[in-house]
Amino acid sequence: MKIFLAQQNYHIGNFDKNQEKIIEAIQIAKSKNADLIVFSEMSICGYPARDFLDFKDFIDKCFESIDNIKEYADTIGVIVGAPDINPVREGKNLFNAAFFLYEKEIKGIAHKTCLPTYDVFDENRYFEPAYNWDTIEFKGKNIALTVCEDIWNLGDNPLYRVCPMDILMQRQPDFMINISASPFDYTHDEDRKATIKSNVLKYKIPLIYCNAVGSQTEIIFDGDSLVFDKDANLCCQLPQFKEELKEIILNDDGTVDAPVIEPAAAVPGLIFEPLYFTPELNISQVYEAIILGIKDYFSKMGFSKAIIGSSGGIDSAVTIALACEALGKENVRAILMPSEYSSSHSVDDAEQLSKNLENPYDIIPIKNIYEEFLDGLKPVFNNLPFGVAEENIQARTRGNLLMAIANKFGYILLNTSNKSELAVGYGTLYGDMAGGLGVLGDCYKLQVYELAKYINSKKETTPAGRQVIPGNIITKAPSAELRPDQKDSDSLPPYEILDKILYQYIERVQGPKEIKSLGFDAALVDRILKLVNRNEYKRNQFCPIIRVSPKAFGTGRRLPIVGNYLD
């Protein structure tokens, strides 16, 4: 059987565009005499549609798209993902479904059984789990059709009471097809592949896995669609972070007409979770994910130009370099806003960065504006000593200038805060925490340094032989430069220690006893965890963050603002 995998980038609610993309792929597959084409989970409307699913009009448009698409499913079978109506009064109104179209009809519908509610997922909010399970007959073959999470209920601690494939195997299917919208994180490639292979090892039939690609606000879908033959050999793997239309031949004996990429082997475990923080881990994937996140956020929102505050520090330098790659150097405007506390080398470094990248930049000193603020506040401040308030006025002055230019010229302000800073509240609300998209908000400080090194290794040097990100930016001690001789280390432990503690608490969800048992200073652990919890109110007001880790701030980590745990 000739089968096409359509790994595509959808736009939530853009029914015309999604439909056009799907039909175009069907036409290409038909021209190649394909028997079947497979699209990803919720391909009709985009995923996650969230509360759009509550609107009847939104659901009606999904069915209108299916009606239009099925006219092209005449000589070819088509599998698409979309919400389906639950006719039973009790329960949620919708199913998360895979529609099988053929001969211009809906020949079968598979409803998703396992509805994830962890991390960024909240499918129980919208969908009812499947009531019935059956295979789909097509051209003499019996297909076990499932949706995303339905193949993840394996291992020693299954999350769900029902394993759909166990039931479907009673119908003696010839092969499995799973349509998915599985988000990226820098640990997920390994356990996803292991999970899919485990299904093949368990059920002894081929599996075709089609995943979505593209960015939906903060969530990145990396594609990486896979095909395993009946012996659990990986025979086809589509690229990460790119759209692809791929043809495979599935033979009657369960083999695939393709060279084996990875031979079958025992799967050591279903979950790949690094026990210790490794900042360089899959840094090239992190880079590609952030590029895609920026690119899609702008294109899907209808924007083209970004503005970034350029301080001469590592975070703004990496953000500018990433934005130039994603949007084009001419579309990234850097604003240098030195104060009386800014070192001369910071300004020089920021200038050199933009010269290396060839992106436009402006220099707007804030000394006079800052002093006007202080003069206006003098009667109220009543000669109290210089402190955090004065430091934050500088940050908010810069935020105001950036937002003013953004408003004037239709830019999106990209925020440069990293995960280490956001975790402990080392940032100023409405100042350096302003922005429309958090580019580095899911990268710890040490990962930002690794990104800088990767960018320099990836890019050719400038005509003058310089690295793109000046070496001084990478090697100098980080500083907010809001008071004389300020260093991050004045307020925070070294990032080599801080990031390791934060990783254990945030990604691995370890408590203070477990973290201290790893050898960290007990008082420091208590202090850091207290800072993390106390600064939830700041993160709650922060912009969307491009998610690259297993546990990002935002929709995947939901903590109360007024809690008193570890405080």
Terminal CA-CA length for the chain: 61
Task: Give the Cα separation of 25 and 246 in Å (integer).
Answer: 10
Q: Cβ neighbours of residue 434 under 8 Å, at least 6 residues apart?
A: 399, 402, 403, 413, 415, 543
354-371: string of b/e by CB count within 10 Å (b at 16+)?
bebbebebeeeebeebbe
To the query of whether residue 280 is one of the catalytic residues in this protein, the response is no
Tokens 């590592």 belong to: 314
The backbone torsions φ and ψ at residue 177, rounded to the nearest 5 degrees and listed phi first, read -125, 130
- Closest to 99 (Cα-Cα) out of 85, 78, 116, 115: 78
Please check whether residue 416 is in contact with residue 397, taking contact to mean a CB–CB distance below 8 angstroms.
Answer: no
The backbone torsions φ and ψ at residue 560, rounded to the nearest 5 degrees and listed phi first, read -70, 145
| SS3 state of residue 202 | helix
Distance of CA 390 to the CA centre of its chain: 36
Task: Give the Cα separation of 343 and 359 in Å (integer).
Answer: 22
Distance of CA 134 to the CA centre of its chain: 33
Tokens 């499947």 belong to: 130
Question: Taking every pair of C-alpha atoms in the chain, what is the biggest distance, in angstroms?
Answer: 86
Task: Give the Cα separation of 506 and 493 in Å (integer).
Answer: 17
**Which residue of the set 41, 325, 391, 507 is catalytic?**
41
DSSP state of 263: -
Please check whether residue 183 is in contact with residue 41, taking contact to mean a CB–CB distance below 8 angstroms.
Answer: no
Please check whether residue 415 is in contact with residue 306, taking contact to mean a CB–CB distance below 8 angstroms.
Answer: no
Task: Give the Cα separation of 306 and 409 in Å (integer).
Answer: 10
Please check whether residue 112 is in contact with residue 130, taking contact to mean a CB–CB distance below 8 angstroms.
Answer: yes
DSSP state of 224: -
**Which residue of the set 61, 70, 112, 295 is catalytic?**
112
Q: How many CB atoms lie within 10 A of CB 376?
A: 10
Tokens 């609610």 belong to: 13
Pairing between β-strand 306-309 and β-strand 332-336 as defined by DSSP bridges: parallel
Residue type, 337: M
**Which residue of the set 45, 148, 163, 543 is catalytic?**
148
Angle between helices 445-458 and 495-506 (to 10 degrees): 110
To the query of whether residue 41 is one of the catalytic residues in this protein, the response is yes
Residues tagged active-site: 41, 112, 148
